[in-house]
Amino acid sequence: MPAKKINPARELLFGNLWEYDPAPESAPAFIDNRYGLFINGKFVAPKTKKYFDSISPRNEEKLSEIALAGAADVDAAYQAAATAFKPWSKLPGIERAKYLFRIARLLQDRAREFAVAETLDGGKPIKESRDFDVPMAAAHFFYHAGWADKLDHVTPGRTLVPLGVIGQVIPWNFPLLMLAWKIAPALATGNTVVLKPAETTSITALKFASILQDAGLPPGVVNFVTGAGETGSAVVNHPLAAKIAFTGSTAVGKAIQRALAGTGKRLTLELGGKAANIVFDDAPLDQAVEGIINGIFFNQGHVCCAGSRLLVQESIAETILSKLKIRLKTLRTGDPLDKNTDIGAINSKAQLTRIQDLVAAGISEGAEIYQPACTLPKNGFYFPPTLFSNVSQSHRIAREEIFGPVLSILTFRTPEEAVEKANNTHYGLSAGVWTDKGSRILKMSTELKAGVVWANTFNKFDPTSPFGGYKESGFGREGGKQGLLDYATLH
């Protein structure tokens, strides 16, 4: 924001009077210089003898060296998980619950440390890792601890039987939280796990391994193998996997589905999205503006259910656009470790390039761009909050998942047109509806082909509430009772 001069002399002495002082989070992150693989309860060197760097997107500095797992390492992890499966699955649910409760409490004890590590490694604002990612990860362990001894009540009259070893591959946008979404239900239902974090964000998973050790979790129940797509492919294609749970891009999800066809392995996929956030003219507009901002700028827009397509009723489009522009000016983009930062660093150079390419396509296809003036840090990967108006359905920015802080604004006249435009996508993960009318909320939520429909709010999550997609956003549910059923067979 350009400086507003109240007192030029004071400004000379103290700089821009309208700027906050830097307020970096000060808790130490305790990141090791090098991490091995976590197999059978211990950290071991990779058989490949190879390591790769994990850098901080905040300033491009190297944080740690991460082991690169090859096929033999992945196999060792599966062998450990297979050996651990028998005793773990035979353990009474009440005993498994104790481990899950212990894990949840240990994570809470170390919450600040984990929040800082998550922010350093992935680039998300500290206020989000501190107030959302880490507490929600602990909440998922608490919630599933509660289920572990009540599995006979999930579907009364039937018994949930665990599947075996679960192979899990997760993305970089919510590293610790996606780990919790995957591990907590798998363990509660009596399965064992081989999990691969994303290559840019392995650190909190490896720190989490020390929590598993402190909780006394039996060796082999959870194993972490690190690496990129090749390691992921080895996890997905290992013959000992009874089920694969994947969260990431639709392209990789499709490849996994092809590879697994005919193998008898169970599969759940949580893929991309291009959510419509729909605002009717009777909505509480200021509340809607906050919801729109949160819907697209939360976690720099690296959110599969981000409200990246704003559909506004034509009569209020101008008003909403001008309110959004004003609100955008107050967003603070910069150092994610600063407690005042709203928009942190883009997770990787590759993701920044993808965002830049799609924004360039938006401009060349004729949409109108708005970005507030802001100074971005010199080092690291940053992108300013961006609005596109005059967007039409055929524009790439209206069809493709940008996975960045970029909102495309489209308009509609009637509820029917809103539904048609909202559903006109390959995806179907989430949607939002803003209106004063309860009946309209119910009608819209039935007609929108999306796994989650938020009403007069956006991006709200709870472990009790199942999450998952329609169409190319994937299948299977995570959270709630439905999530448990995806980790068991019914007898």
25, 118, 133, 270: which one contacts ligand NAD (CB under 6 A)?
Answer: 270
3-state SS class at 402: coil
Please identify which residue in the block is written with the tokens 């894990």: 103
Interactions with ligand NAD, residue window 12-41 (CB under 6 A): none
Interactions with ligand NAD, residue window 376-435 (CB under 6 A): 401, 403
Q: Of 113-121, 171-179, 314-322, 389-397, which segment contacts ligand NAD by CB under 6 A?
A: 171-179
* Cα distance between residue 358 and residue 345, in whole Å: 18
Residue 338, beta-bridge partner list: 24
173, 200, 277, 333: which one contacts Mn ion (CB under 5 A)?
Answer: 200
Vertex 453 angle, CA 252 and 281, to 5°: 125
27, 136, 154, 255: which one contacts ligand NAD (CB under 6 A)?
Answer: 255
280 binds, among ligand NAD, Mn ion, none (CB under 5 to 8 A by kind): none
Q: How many CB atoms lie within 10 A of CB 199?
A: 18
Residues 6+ apart with CB under 8 A from 328: 293, 370, 371, 372, 385, 387
Cβ closest to ligand NAD, residue 27 vs residue 255: 255
Interactions with ligand NAD, residue window 284-343 (CB under 6 A): 304
Q: Is 232 in the site for ligand NAD (CB under 6 A)?
A: yes
Q: Is 128 in the site for ligand NAD (CB under 6 A)?
A: no
3-state SS class at 233: helix
247 binds, among Mn ion, ligand NAD, none (CB under 5 to 8 A by kind): ligand NAD
Identify the active-site residue in 25, 118, 199, 270.
Answer: 270
Distance of CA 346 to the CA centre of its chain: 13
Residue 312, beta-bridge partner list: 279, 411
54 binds, among Mn ion, ligand NAD, none (CB under 5 to 8 A by kind): Mn ion
Q: Report the run of H or E that residue 411 belongs to, with start and end.
A: strand 406-412
Cβ closest to Mn ion, residue 61 vs residue 462: 61
* Cα distance between residue 48 and residue 389, in whole Å: 50
Nearest approach, Cβ of residue 28 and ligand NAD (Å): 27
* Cα distance between residue 311 and residue 433, in whole Å: 9
Residue 62, beta-bridge partner list: 55
Q: Is 54 in the site for Mn ion (CB under 5 A)?
A: yes
Strands annotated E in 183-280:
192-196, 222-224, 241-247, 266-270, 276-279
Identify the active-site residue in 118, 304, 400, 478.
Answer: 304
Cβ closest to ligand NAD, residue 249 vs residue 257: 249
Count, residues in the chain: 491
Annotated catalytic residue 304 = yes
Q: Is 198 in the site for ligand NAD (CB under 6 A)?
A: yes
Interactions with Mn ion, residue window 82-121 (CB under 5 A): 121
Nearest approach, Cβ of residue 66 and Mn ion (Å): 9
Where on the phi/psi map is residue 228: left (φ > 0), alpha (ψ -120 to 50), or beta? beta
Residue 410, beta-bridge partner list: 311
Annotated catalytic residue 118 = no
Positions marked active-site: 270, 304
* Interface residue list for ligand NAD (CB under 6 A): 169-173, 196, 198-199, 228-229, 232-233, 236, 247-249, 252, 255-256, 270-272, 304, 354, 401, 403
* Interface residue list for Mn ion (CB under 5 A): 54, 121, 200
